[in-house]
C-alpha cells in the first residue's frame, strides 16, 4: 500500500490540473491564426584518437573510459592488463532536430530528437541510436517535459567541461531516461519533480543489467531538485529515491516480493565570470551503478529453505570540480574523487553493480582546445587511479594497491 500511495502522490505532482490556461472556450467565433512548425537541425562531426597506458574498464570500444583494470598476473607474474593500446573512432558524431510549434493548453511547445552512431552496446557499434526524444510545454511559471532526457542527477546546469566522451564519469552521473518532469519557477528559485524509468542504462542484478528490476517494483525512480539562479551563479540541491525488485522467484521456486530501497543526495554549483567558468558537484549516494558511477548493492541475507534474499545498498561519496578559462583558446582542468563507504549490513552473497573491490578512485585531467568558427581541435590527458583491494563483511575495501592509467586523447569537432 505504501508504494501505491507514493506513486499516486507522484502522479498528482506531475500532472496538475492547475498552472495553465486553456482559452479554447473563449472567442469561439474567432479562428486562431495558423502557427507554422519550425524544424532546425544541429549537431557535429566528431572524431577521437587516443592512447591508453594499460587496459581499462570502458564502453564503446574503450572510448567511454571509466577506470583502469586491476592487475592480472600471468604465469610469470607479468601483468596481462599492463599493455598499452590505441584506437580511432568517429561513432559519436551526432545529429539533432529542434522543433517549435503552435501553442497547446495555453503553453508554448517545443521538442527535440537527437541520435548518434555509437549504438546501444559494443556489439552495436556504428548503430544509429536514440539519445534524446522529448517535448516540452512552457507556461509562465511551469514547464512540463515528457520523453527521454538526461536524468535530473546529470544536472545540466553543472556538467564538467572535459574533452572525453565520459563527461566526468564515474564521478559525474551519465544517464538518459524516459521520464516525466515538472519544473516550477518563482523568481530565482526552480523546483523540479520527476518520475523516471530506465532504458539503455539500467540497474544490475541477478539477470544482468536490465530495466526489469525497477519495473517490477511498480515504483518509478522519484526525484526532487531545488535550483537557485542569481546572476552568473547557479546552485542546486537534490534528493533521489529508487526501489528495485531484483527477483520475482527464488532459486527454490518461491515467489518473493523482496525489494531494495536506496537514497541519494546531491549538491552542485556553477559560477561564471569573464572568461572563467567554475563548476563542482558532490553526491552521497546508494546503488548508482546505472549512472555509470561506482556502486550497486549486495545480498545481505539468504533464507536456507525458501532461498529468499534480502539486499543492502552500497554507499559511495563522489565529488568533482572543473575550471575552464578562455574563448578561442580554452584551457581547463578536471579533478574527481570517489570513495567506497561500504554497506550498513553484513554481506553474505553476491555483489551487483560496479567497482565493489575499489576503495577509492581519483582522476586529474587537464585539457586545451583551439576554436575557430565551427571547428574545435582539443587535446586532453586523463590520469585515473583506482585503489583495488578486498571487501570486508560490510563491503569496505581493505589491503589496497593503486593501479593507474594515462590516456592521451586528441579530438576534432565540426559543428553545424
Tens of pLDDT along 143-202?
Answer: 999 999 999 999 999 999 999 999 999 999 999 999 999 999 999 999 999 999 999 999
The residue whose grid cell reads 519544473 is 183
CA 309 to centroid of chain Cα atoms? 28
Residue 13: pLDDT over 70: no
Per-residue pLDDT band at 25 (split at 50, 70, 90): very low
What pLDDT, on a 0 to 100 scale, did the predictor assign at position 33?
Answer: 57
- Distance, CA of 58 to CA of 71 (rounded, Å): 16
Tens of pLDDT along 310-339?
Answer: 999 999 999 999 999 999 999 999 999 999
Q: Could you tell me the three cell numbers for 237?
A: 540541491
Per-residue pLDDT band at 122 (split at 50, 70, 90): confident
CB atoms inside a 10 Å sphere around CB 167: 18
Percent of the chain whose pLDDT exceeds 70: 92
Identify whether the C-beta of residue 185 lies closer than 8 Å to the C-beta of residue 227.
no
Contacts of 135 (CB under 8 A, 6+ apart): 99, 109, 110, 111, 112, 145, 146, 147
Contacts of 158 (CB under 8 A, 6+ apart): 234, 236, 268, 269, 270, 279, 280, 281
Identify whether the C-beta of residue 352 lies closer than 8 Å to the C-beta of residue 205.
yes
Share the mean pLDDT of the chain.
Answer: 93
- 3-class DSSP state of 128: coil
CA distances from 373 to 328, 402, 413 (A): 9, 42, 11
Query: How many residues are given for the chain?
Result: 416
What pLDDT, on a 0 to 100 scale, did the predictor assign at position 4?
Answer: 58
- Distance, CA of 6 to CA of 401 (rounded, Å): 44
Q: Could you tell me the three cell numbers for 123?
A: 556489439
Percent of the chain whose pLDDT exceeds 90: 89
Task: Kindly list the structural domains of the chain, giving each domain's residue range(s) and its CATH number in brackets, ordered by start.
Answer: 2-11+41-415 (2.40.160.10)
| Exposed / middle / buried, residue 149 (Cβ in 10 Å: 0-12, 13-18, 19+) | buried
Residue 12: pLDDT over 60: no
Sign of CA dihedral 398, 404, 405, 408: positive
- Distance, CA of 152 to CA of 176 (rounded, Å): 9
Nearest to 385 by CA among 412, 362, 411: 362
| Exposed / middle / buried, residue 130 (Cβ in 10 Å: 0-12, 13-18, 19+) | middle
CA 327 to centroid of chain Cα atoms? 27
Angle at 200 between CA 266 and CA 380, to 5 degrees: 65
Angle at 129 between CA 297 and CA 178, to 5 degrees: 50
Q: Could you tell me the three cell numbers for 107?
A: 503553453
Amino acid at each position: 500500500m505504501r508504494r501505491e500511495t507514493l506513486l499516486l502522490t507522484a502522479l498528482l505532482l506531475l500532472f496538475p490540473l492547475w498552472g495553465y490556461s486553456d482559452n479554447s472556450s473563449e472567442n469561439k467565433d474567432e479562428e486562431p491564426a495558423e502557427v507554422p512548425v519550425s524544424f532546425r537541425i544541429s549537431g557535429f562531426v566528431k572524431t577521437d584518437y587516443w592512447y591508453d597506458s594499460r587496459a581499462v574498464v570502458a564502453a564503446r570500444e574503450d572510448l567511454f573510459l571509466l577506470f583502469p583494470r586491476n592487475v592480472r598476473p600471468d604465469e610469470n607474474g607479468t601483468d596481462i592488463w599492463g599493455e598499452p593500446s590505441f584506437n580511432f573512432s568517429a561513432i559519436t558524431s551526432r545529429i539533432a532536430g529542434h522543433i517549435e510549434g503552435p501553442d497547446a493548453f495555453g503553453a508554448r511547445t517545443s521538442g527535440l530528437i537527437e541520435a548518434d552512431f555509437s549504438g546501444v552496446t559494443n556489439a552495436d557499434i556504428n548503430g544509429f541510436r536514440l539519445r534524446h526524444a522529448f517535448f516540452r510545454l512552457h507556461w509562465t511559471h511551469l514547464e512540463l517535459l515528457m520523453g527521454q532526457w538526461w536524468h535530473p542527477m546529470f544536472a545540466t546546469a553543472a556538467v564538467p567541461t572535459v574533452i572525453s566522451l565520459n563527461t566526468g564519469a564515474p564521478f559525474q552521473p551519465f544517464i538518459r531516461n524516459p521520464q516525466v518532469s515538472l519544473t516550477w519557477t518563482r523568481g530565482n528559485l526552480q523546483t523540479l519533480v520527476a518520475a523516471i524509468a530506465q532504458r539503455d542504462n539500467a540497474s544490475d542484478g541477478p539477470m544482468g543489467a536490465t530495466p526489469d528490476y525497477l519495473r517490477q517494483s511498480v515504483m518509478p525512480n522519484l526525484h526532487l531538485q531545488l535550483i537557485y539562479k542569481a546572476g552568473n551563479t547557479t546552485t542546486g540541491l537534490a534528493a533521489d529515491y529508487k526501489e528495485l525488485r531484483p527477483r520475482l522467484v527464488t532459486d527454490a521456486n518461491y515467489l518473493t516480493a523482496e525489494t531494495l530501497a536506496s537514497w541519494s543526495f546531491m549538491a552542485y554549483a556553477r559560477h561564471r565570470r569573464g572568461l572563467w567558468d567554475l563548476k563542482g558537484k558532490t553526491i552521497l549516494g546508494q546503488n548508482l551503478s546505472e549512472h555509470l558511477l561506482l556502486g550497486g548493492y549486495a545480498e545481505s541475507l539468504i533464507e536456507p529453505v525458501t532461498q529468499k534474499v534480502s539486499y543492502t545498498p552500497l554507499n559511495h561519496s563522489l565529488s568533482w570540480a572543473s575550471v575552464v578559462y578562455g574563448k578561442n583558446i580554452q584551457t581547463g582542468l578536471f579533478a574527481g574523487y570517489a570513495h567506497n563507504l561500504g554497506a550498513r549490513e553484513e554481506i553474505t552473497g553476491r555483489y551487483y553493480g560496479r567497482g565493489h573491490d575499489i576503495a577509492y578512485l581519483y582522476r586529474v585531467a587537464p585539457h586545451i582546445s583551439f576554436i575557430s568558427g565551427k571547428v574545435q581541435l582539443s587535446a586532453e590527458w586523463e590520469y585515473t587511479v583506482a585503489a583495488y583491494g578486498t571487501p570486508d563483511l560490510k563491503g569496505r575495501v581493505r589491503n589496497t594497491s593503486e593501479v593507474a592509467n594515462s590516456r592521451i586523447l586528441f579530438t576534432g569537432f565540426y559543428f553545424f
